[in-house]
Amino acid sequence: MIIKTSDFVKSAVTKSQYPEDKRLEIAFLGRSNVGKSSLINALTNRRKLAKVSSTPGRTRLINYFLINDDFHLVDLPGYGYAKVSKSEKAAWGKIIEEYLMSSETLTRVVLLVDSRHKPTADDIMMYEWINYHNYDVVVIATKSDKVSKNDIRKNEKLIKDTLKLKPEHRLIFFSSVKKDGREDLINTLFEDLASK
């Protein structure tokens, strides 16, 4: 699949603000500093489609992007950022949970983890939650350019074991800097969502 167009549609906080056009959705979810915006920009080949901040925790809304005038890529708020209040963390959690529970067109969840580290307790909880609700999930290990080839195999096992990754759920290492395997990743994530 080739991404020809990618456009910001709107931001939302509650269900009443979600788009009403019934297009299929694929949601991107991960910790605040895992590189979600960079990944979205790398996939769409647009440097500033999703806002990248040097300060984690800036994505506080649900952001919708229209891909090929066909389906929505949905950027959810990051979780697990330590330098915010408990009440703010709880508010972000409610935004994420309401979306995941009530979106009628959500088809796949892409869970991002940092390829350099063992998944956090928040990552594990999120993966278990996605599984419990029977969403199709792809796990992407970001920032793979910062991991040696020898360590990628070791970290792959660590991530799979820590998350207790199901055999049918894919784990893909990707670097938003190098973009190696970008086309394959796009096909894995989007091809079956595109209108035939």
- In-domain check, residue 81: yes
User: Closest Cα to residue 40, out of 171, 170, 191, 185?
Assistant: 185
pTM recorded for the entire structure: 0.89
In a domain, 129, yes or no: yes
Say if residue 35 is exposed, middle or buried (CB neighbours under 10 Å; 0-12, 13-18, 19+).
buried
- Assigned domain for 73 exists: yes
CATH number reported for the structural domain that contains residue 181 in this entry: 3.40.50.300
Residues with Cβ < 8 Å from 151, sequence gap 6 or more? none
> Residue 57 — very low, low, confident or very high, per pLDDT cuts 50/70/90?
very low
Given this model, what pLDDT does residue 196 score?
A: 46
What gap in Å lies between CA 115 and CA 78, rounded to an integer? 17
196 domain residue, yes or no: no
Identify whether 13 is part of a domain.
yes
- Residue-number span of the structural domain to which 133 is assigned: 6-190
pLDDT, tens digit, for every residue of 91-130? 657 888 899 988 899 999 999 999 999 999 989 999 998 8
Instruction: Round the average pLDDT of the chain to a whole number and report it.
Output: 87
Q: How does DSSP classify residue 178?
A: T
Q: Is residue 1 part of a domain?
A: no
Per the CB < 8 A criterion, the answer to whether 38 and 121 are in contact is: no
Domain count, the chain: 1
Distance CA 143, CA 131 (A): 24
